[in-house]
């Protein structure tokens, strides 16, 4: 059986095209959705994420502002910054890039964001709205997972979905979204007994655990749809040889780039056993920024019309 590859780059481009039309419609009403990205400290990964978010918003014609604060910033200073962004009429979305430095109370900072501008969907008000199926802003990566399934014609209603990982950022919101779309959902975590047997019950498996190539062929029912949220960086030949049966290409990539990305799902096994799967890179990853853009546009449409965003999808 040849597994179908669910191409995240293609779906991202479709979403960007659709957003372009919405942004033009807003421009006719003299509205430019605005996104403020708050970057604290010098974490290299965070710098890249924020740079990409700002770049994509500008490409799409959004107003975007990067606000940097030193690693020594205090909780009070960040609360003050968030309050000032809450008060600005030209800002529709506020994202505070995580992780924040250890001296900062990240929860307090996230809770200070106006829920109507919480484009990362991390405010307890939006989490509560998501849990109860009420209109709100939903976290970007989970929203991207659902978009991939939906746009690839994968039937969610009635399917058995197994979510591996229960983080607030990915596992829990994905499970809730699948549940709202009428899947029968099992949520697994590090204490789940016989994980492979539980995963094999899934028509849809969502892997979000942060463990390179952990989900092997033994976890996958033949023909299942596998969505790999994991992003793990391999930086030694030994790690690559441990995972890949045919490592030549990856070893070459390691020499050229210094590291190789792998998901939480075994890339060779999934291609052999699944019916459809998202690759890493090029699967879920590209959707995260696209959904942030979608949330920002949605937040602008709603806030400026005095309404609240829809619960299921910003698109
Ligand atoms: P996280 O907060 O570390 O959560 C990992 C979850 O996986 C936890 O619930 C943990 O269980 C579970 N887990 C860990 N080891 C396990 C095991 N051996 N068996 C079963 N469950 C296990 O990670 P996260 O933020 O959800 O991210 C997960 C992955 O997605 C990471 O690779 C991350 O880089 C990636 N990610 C990608 C994107 C994207 O844009 N594509 C966005 C966000 C995250 P416990 O709760 O029991 O500890």
Full set of structural domains in the chain with CATH: 4-8+23-120+288-305 (3.40.50.10860), 153-286 (3.40.50.720)
Looking at residue 313, its pLDDT comes to 72
* CA–CA distance, 276 with 25 (Å, rounded to integer): 36
Q: Is 230 near ligand 1, meaning CB less than 6 Å away?
A: yes
How many angstroms is it from 206 CA to the middle of ligand 1?
Answer: 11
Task: Say what the pLDDT of residue 315 is.
Answer: 78
Pocket test for ligand 1, best of 48, 106, 170 (most atoms within 8 A of CB): 170
State the pLDDT at residue 305: 86
> In terms of pTM, does the model score above 0.85?
yes
53 as an active site residue: the answer is yes
User: Which is catalytic among the residues 16, 22, 92, 97?
Assistant: 97
d(CA 131, CA 121): 12
pLDDT value at residue 57: 96
Residue 294 per-residue DSSP state: H
For position 107, what pLDDT does the model report? 96
Tell me, letter by letter, the H, E, C secondary structure of 151-216.
HCCCCCCCCEEEEECCCCCCHHHHHHHHHHCCCEEEEECCCCCCHHHHHCCCCEEEECCCCCCCEC
120 catalytically annotated:
yes
Question: Residue 38 forms beta bridges with which residues?
Answer: 67, 96
Positions of the chain with pLDDT under 70? 1, 308-312
Helix 124-131 and helix 171-180, axial crossing angle in degrees, nearest 10: 40
- pLDDT for 39 equals 98
285 C-alpha vs ligand 1 centroid, how far in Å? 14
Alpha-carbon Rg for the chain, nearest whole angstrom, is: 20
pLDDT tens for 165-211 read 999 999 999 999 999 999 999 999 999 999 999 999 999 999 999 99
**Pick the catalytic residue: 22, 92, 117, 120?**
120
Taking only the tens place, the pLDDT of each residue in 219-263 is: 999 999 999 999 999 999 999 999 999 999 999 999 999 999 999
Reported in sequence order, the residue ranges of 213-257 that DSSP labels E, i.e. its strands, are: 225-228, 232-234
Which tokens go with 109?
Answer: 């900072």
- The pairing of strands 4-5 and 276-277 is parallel
Say whether 181 is catalytic: no
Per the listing, tokens 């009403």 go with: 29
pLDDT of residue 193: 98
Rounded-to-integer distance, Cα 39 and Cα 51, Å: 10
């Amino acid at each position: 059986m040849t597994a179908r590859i669910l191409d995240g780059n293609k779906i991202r481009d479709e979403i960007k095209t659709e957003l372009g039309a919405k942004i033009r419609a807003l421009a006719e009403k003299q509205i430019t959705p605005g996104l403020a990205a708050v970057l604290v400290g010098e974490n290299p990964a965070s710098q890249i994420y924020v740079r990409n978010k700002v770049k994509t918003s500008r490409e799409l014609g959004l107003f975007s502002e990067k606000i940097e604060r030193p690693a020594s910033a205090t909780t009070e200073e960040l609360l003050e910054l968030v309050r000032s962004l809450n008060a600005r009429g030209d800002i529709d979305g506020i994202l505070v890039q995580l992780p924040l430095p250890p001296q900062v109370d990240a929860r307090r900072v996230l809770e200070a964001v106006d829920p109507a501008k919480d484009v990362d969907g991390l405010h307890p008000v939006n989490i509560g709205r998501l849990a109860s199926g009420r209109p709100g802003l939903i976290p970007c990566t989970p929203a991207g997972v659902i978009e991939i399934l939906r746009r690839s014609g994968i039937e969610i209603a009635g399917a058995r979905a197994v979510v591996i990982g229960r983080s607030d950022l990915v596992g829990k919101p994905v499970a809730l979204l699948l549940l709202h779309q009428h899947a029968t959902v099992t949520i697994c975590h590090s204490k789940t007994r016989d994980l492979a047997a539980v995963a094999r019950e899934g028509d849809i498996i969502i892997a979000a655990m942060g463990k390179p190539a952990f989900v092997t062929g033994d976890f996958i029912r033949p023909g299942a749809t596998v969505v790999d949220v994991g992003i793990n960086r391999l930086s030694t030949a030994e790690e690559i040889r441990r995972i890949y049966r045919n490592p030549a290409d990856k070893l070459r990539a390691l020499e050229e780039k210094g590291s190789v990305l792998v998901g939480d799902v075994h890339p060779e096994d999934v291609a052999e056993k699944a019916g459809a799967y998202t690759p890493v890179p090029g699967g879920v990853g590209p959707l995260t920024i696209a959904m942030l853009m979608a949330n920002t546009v949605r937040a602008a449409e709603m806030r400026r019309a005095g309404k609240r965003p829809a619960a299921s999808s910003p698109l």
